[in-house]
Structure 1
């Protein structure tokens, strides 16, 4: 296992110096889900929520979160993202909204935190917009699925049979 990079030799927090790292194409994909009552999911699917299009607002919130990650998470580098996509899949069998975010750039550091932030804030936005009708919603399984680029190359989560 690699050493933690956000600490100096004395254990003090530090922003990683990426000055000498090569610029490369980088991409990260993260996923997560919001589980809810069947009626809440139906309301989202039909677009009948009184607050408006829940998924459109959650998509914008996710994109904004990716762009603001360095403001939210200490020691993250501010990045010039070239693409952020946030998509949703409604799973009526499990009463879930499945969230997938993909972030890309050409840069000196990865975009994993941006993709994870996009999924997290999209999920929180769904919760916020629907909490009046379903306070028992559950946000879960936020995780990195894949990253490409940089010195460590390509990484992909192993698929498990759950």
Structure 2
């Protein structure tokens, strides 16, 4: 049995997949991340006593910027036009929830852009609150859904509405 052909390696060397012949189609991806806050970090955020300012606003802007800079950070990711992005950063009981939806019309998808957006946003929450606590945790980074492209649509199992 022969080994499967690797898409990002040829002759043992990394390569960028050629998408020249692929048709540009409408694509969208959504992702999320969580920032778990110890009590002292949560208190600084809720009380407005964080000396660096509002971490949620900074994180939202950072996530938007991160979505557009993905190809600079993910080695074999194609630079694509991000035609739309929405980043939501909210304080919830479990911590700070970061969600991003990114859209494009391109020959390749935007999953990495959505994942980068939430990760960069979460890192900015940490950076803005690290004076209050170094025990902040970034967790739960995952793809929630994607649409478009050859591989078709995907929805995380816990995101599918119950039928019946």
Pairwise same-fold verdict (TM > 0.5): yes
Q: Does structure 1 conserve the Cα–Cα contact (< 8 Å) formed by 2:36 and 2:137?
A: yes
What stretches of structure 1 of length at least 5 have no aligned partner? none
CA distance in 2, matches of 1:118, 1:60: 10
- Paired position in structure 2 for 1:132: 131
CA distance in 2, matches of 1:4, 1:29: 26
- Paired position in structure 1 for 2:7: 5
- Paired position in structure 1 for 2:86: 85
CA apart distance, 1:89: 2.5
Q: 1:130 to 1:3 in 2, by over 3 A?
A: farther
Q: How many residues align?
A: 156
Q: Does structure 1 conserve the Cα–Cα contact (< 8 Å) formed by 2:59 and 2:89?
A: no
CA distance in 2, matches of 1:46, 1:148: 40
Q: 1:129 to 1:3 in 2, by over 3 A?
A: farther
1:9-28 aligned within 5 A: 10-28=11-29
Q: Does structure 2 conserve the Cα–Cα contact (< 8 Å) formed by 1:47 and 1:54?
A: no
CA distance in 1, matches of 2:137, 2:5: 33
What stretches of structure 2 of length at least 5 have no aligned partner? 160-164
CA distance in 1, matches of 2:5, 2:43: 46
CA apart distance, 1:84: 1.2
CA distance in 2, matches of 1:158, 1:3: 29
CA distance in 1, matches of 2:47, 2:148: 39
CA distance in 2, matches of 1:59, 1:3: 39
CA distance in 2, matches of 1:157, 1:28: 11
CA apart distance, 1:3: 5.6
TM-score, normalized by length of structure 2?
Answer: 0.89
CA distance in 1, matches of 2:130, 2:5: 41
Extract structure 1 runs of 4+ deviating beyond 4 A: none
